[in-house]
Amino acid sequence: MTQMNMLQAINSALDTAMAADDRVLCFGEDVGVFGGVFRATSNLQQKYGKARCFNTPLVEQGIIGFANGLAAQGSVPVAEIQFADYIFPAFDQIVNESAKFRYRSGNLFNVGGLTIRAPYGGGIAGGLYHSQSPEAYFAHTPGLKIVVPRNPHQAKGLLLGAIDDPNPTLFFEPKRLYRASVGEVPDEDYRLPLGEAEITKEGTDITVLGWGAQMEVIDQAVEMAEKDGISCEVIDLRTILPWDFETVANSVFKTGRLVITHEAPLTGGFAGEIAATIQERCFLYLESPIARVTGMDTPFPLVLEKEHLPNHLKVYEAIRSSVEF
């Protein structure tokens, strides 16, 4: 075990994967000798050579197109998109190509080795284009897996799980936590399962659900609610697609209440999918409407970032309203 921040944990995961398998390659903008603008790929080029860790030209559709080809060839590409905000030029390669490669070929070919890493989320004065949370755009795409870790231990285990997974996987890293979140991380290889939510705290009155950097916000809100005598069950969804509806539904059977929170805008956000599914499965158990605490339906603002974000006070208020309904 070593004390690591999230970036060090991600770097450790990449190092572990590259050491274990020659087919693993890391590339993207500034990923090479510089080690990435956030330093997630530090020292990998020095350690594994320019052929396996390298800079690409500044072209997101090219990075993912190239990665798709490599994965089809049998390599294990871990492509970096510098900010999740800039993943959209590669949307076509991801949605029409990566996601459909296996299905359309009748499993003659696949890009299962592909992992796409991208820093996401707000809270760092990033304005419109260094703050976005685009997971819901991709959650509408059968064939992809989408994973978001909440702390360094999760980041390493889930990233190794994503690299190992035989399906193309988007790995969104909460950049607000890159250096802020520190914890014990095993030095050796370990994998956390994809497609499984984790109950991080058990409770009986209400289920509070989120992912990524929002888990920290949830913890603060829950601490306030527990002081009021409200027992909260906290779930980290971890995998957005395919998501673990069973764990969430079982929790709601018990608590009868659900608050879902994410940074992305409300309309079309993934909370909508969860809310619809849970009301369908848990209709007779629900004691209050399912609440969604999210970013507003605006582009991500700079100066009024704090007002825009679903912070702990907004989540706390939603918990109270739900319990008092």
Partner 1 sequence: MTTTKSKVVHAPKFTDGAEFRIPTFKLLKEDGSLYKSAKAPDLDKEKALRIYRTMVTTRILDERMLAAQRQGRLSFYMQCTGEEAAVIGSAAALDDNDMIMAQYREQGALAYRGFTIDEFMNQLFGNELDYGKGRQMPVHYGSSKLNYMTISSPLATQIPQATGYAYGQKLAGDGHCTITYFGEGAASEGDFHAALNMAAVQRVPVIFLCRNNGYAISTPATEQFAADGVAPRAYGYKMDVIRVDGNDILAVHEATRAARQLAVEHNRPVLIEAMTYRLAAHSSSDDPSGYRSKDEEAAWRQKDPILRMRLWLESKKWWSEDDEKKLQESMRREVLETMKRAQKRPPPPLETLVTDVYDEVPPALAEQFQKLKAHIRKYPEAYPKSAEHAKGGA
Query: Under the criterion CB under 8 A, does residue 51 sit at the interface with partner 1?
Result: yes
With respect to partner 1, which residue has the nearer C-beta, 104 or 306? 104
The span from the CA of 176 to the CA of 84, in Å, is 13
Residues serving a catalytic function are: 60, 130
Q: Exactly one of 145, 150, 238, 308 binds partner 1 (CB under 8 A); which one?
A: 145
The span from the CA of 43 to the CA of 59, in Å, is 23
The contact mask relative to partner 1 for 269-288 (x = CB under 8 A, - = no) is: --------------------
Q: Exactly one of 39, 66, 250, 320 binds partner 1 (CB under 8 A); which one?
A: 66
Q: How far is the CB of 236 from partner 1 (least distance, A)?
A: 19
Query: Under the criterion CB under 8 A, does residue 190 sit at the interface with partner 1?
Result: no
Alpha-carbon dihedral angle through residues 207, 211, 212, 215, given to the nearest 10 degrees: -10
How many Cα atoms are found within 13 Å in the side-chain-facing hemisphere of 146?
A: 26
Query: Under the criterion CB under 8 A, does residue 209 sit at the interface with partner 1?
Result: no
Q: How far is the CB of 318 from partner 1 (least distance, A)?
A: 26
The contact mask relative to partner 1 for 95-134 (x = CB under 8 A, - = no) is: -xx--x-xxxxxxxxx-x----------------------
Q: Exactly one of 30, 37, 62, 231 binds partner 1 (CB under 8 A); which one?
A: 62
Query: Under the criterion CB under 8 A, does residue 251 sit at the interface with partner 1?
Result: no
The contact mask relative to partner 1 for 147-186 (x = CB under 8 A, - = no) is: -------------------xx-------------------
Query: Under the criterion CB under 8 A, does residue 59 sit at the interface with partner 1?
Result: yes
With respect to partner 1, which residue has the nearer C-beta, 38 or 243? 243
- Other CB atoms within 10 Å distance of the CB of residue 74: 9
With tokens 């690591």, the residue in question is: 4
Report the DSSP beta bridge partners of residue 118. Answer: 172
Q: Where are the alpha helices (DSSP H) in the chain?
A: 6-20, 44-48, 60-73, 91-92, 101-104, 135-139, 152-164, 214-227, 245-255, 270-281, 305-308, 312-324
- DSSP string computed for 89-129: GGHHIIIIIGGGHHHHTTTSS--TT-EEEEEE--SSS-GGG
Give whole-number Cα distances, 90 to 63, 224, 300, in Å.
8, 41, 21
Query: Under the criterion CB under 8 A, does residue 298 sit at the interface with partner 1?
Result: no
Q: How far is the CB of 16 from partner 1 (least distance, A)?
A: 20
Are 219 and 247 in contact by the 8 Å Cβ rule? The answer is no
Q: How far is the CB of 47 from partner 1 (least distance, A)?
A: 17
Alpha-carbon dihedral angle through residues 11, 145, 54, 121, given to the nearest 10 degrees: -60
Query: Under the criterion CB under 8 A, does residue 53 sit at the interface with partner 1?
Result: no
Query: Under the criterion CB under 8 A, does residue 67 sit at the interface with partner 1?
Result: yes
Q: How far is the CB of 69 from partner 1 (least distance, A)?
A: 3
Query: Under the criterion CB under 8 A, does residue 246 sit at the interface with partner 1?
Result: yes
Query: Under the criterion CB under 8 A, does residue 142 sit at the interface with partner 1?
Result: yes
Stretch that binds partner 1, among 47-55, 148-156, 198-206, 314-322 (CB under 8 A): 47-55
Reply yes or no: is the peptide bond before residue 77 cis, omega within 30 of 0.
no
Q: How far is the CB of 199 from partner 1 (least distance, A)?
A: 18
Q: Which of 197, 172, 198, 194 is nearest to 263 (CA)?
A: 172
